[in-house]
Amino acid sequence: MQVLIESSRLTILDKFYDLNRHPEIVWAQRSDKVFLTVELPDAKNPEVKIDPEGKFIFSASAGIHVYEVVLELFGKVNPETSTITVGPRHIFSVIQKDEKKWWSRLLKSEGKPPPYVKVDWNKWVDEDEESETSNFNDFNLGGMDDYDTSKFELGGADADSDDEEIPESEPESISQPENTHEKSA
């Protein structure tokens, strides 16, 4: 009889811990956007909702666990122009800020952020260096641009049926520098 009680305690604890699992999230910003990357390999059924008031809601399963996160971002955002891309190891969001200005932190709440929210030093740019860097279109998304984003609710109006696709631009050719060193015999 005691074994059954212990077994049911473990089941309850397992369920409790499953409800509190959070994927690692890394972030960076520019004056007009926030980059949020949810690092969750092999995520199944990922769902993302971005609310205009600045709420970012994520849920997915991976293995036997369910992962959920609700972040109250520092400021208001524009869900209609924000984008979400799902890859095999990451869910990458580019969240457009409602007002073009640098945030002092990612989250509305003051104090230390949760341990699963970290700075993405690969994308980080200081405020005074923003104009010196290339724009976001130069980031390599690692082939993640081929994934279906139709499951995500961006909180805005439905996409227009008359939207036209933007043709891809041709890559510029890079000329090789001339060899100025000649071999002497």
Specify if 170 maps to a domain: no
- The percentage of the chain sitting over the pLDDT mark of 70, rounded to a whole number, equals 60
Domain count, the chain: 1
Specify if 101 maps to a domain: yes
- Could you write out the DSSP letters of every residue in 80-91? EEEEEEE-SSEE
Average pLDDT score over the chain = 77
Specify if 165 maps to a domain: no
Specify if 107 maps to a domain: yes
Q: pLDDT per residue over 118-167, tens digit each?
A: 999 999 998 888 877 655 444 444 444 444 555 556 555 554 555 556 55
| pLDDT for position 131 | 77
Specify if 10 maps to a domain: no
Residue predicted with more confidence, 17 or 66? 66
Taking the CB of residue 175, how many other CB atoms lie within 10 A of it?
A: 6
Residues paired with 72 in a beta bridge: 55
| pLDDT for position 128 | 84
* CATH, residue 120: 2.60.40.790
Mean pLDDT of 81-91: 96
CA distances from 66 to 63, 154, 175 (A): 8, 21, 50
| Gyration radius of the chain's alpha carbons | 22
What's the length of the chain? Answer: 185
Rounded to an integer, what distance in angstroms lies between the CA atom of residue 135 and that of residue 183? 42
3-state secondary structure at position 71: strand
Specify if 38 maps to a domain: yes
Specify if 37 maps to a domain: yes
Residue 113 has pLDDT above 70, yes or no: yes
Cα-flanking dihedrals φ and ψ of residue 16, to 5°? Answer: -60, -45
Specify if 163 maps to a domain: no
Q: pLDDT per residue over 157-170, tens digit each?
A: 554 555 556 555 55
Q: pLDDT per residue over 21-36, tens digit each?
A: 899 999 999 999 999 9
Q: pLDDT per residue over 19-77, tens digit each?
A: 568 999 999 999 999 999 999 999 999 999 999 999 999 999 999 999 999 999 999 99
The CA angle 138-87-14, to the nearest 5 degrees, is 135
3-state secondary structure at position 70: strand
Mean pLDDT of 103-116: 95
**Residue ranges making up the domain that contains 110:** 22-126+146-156
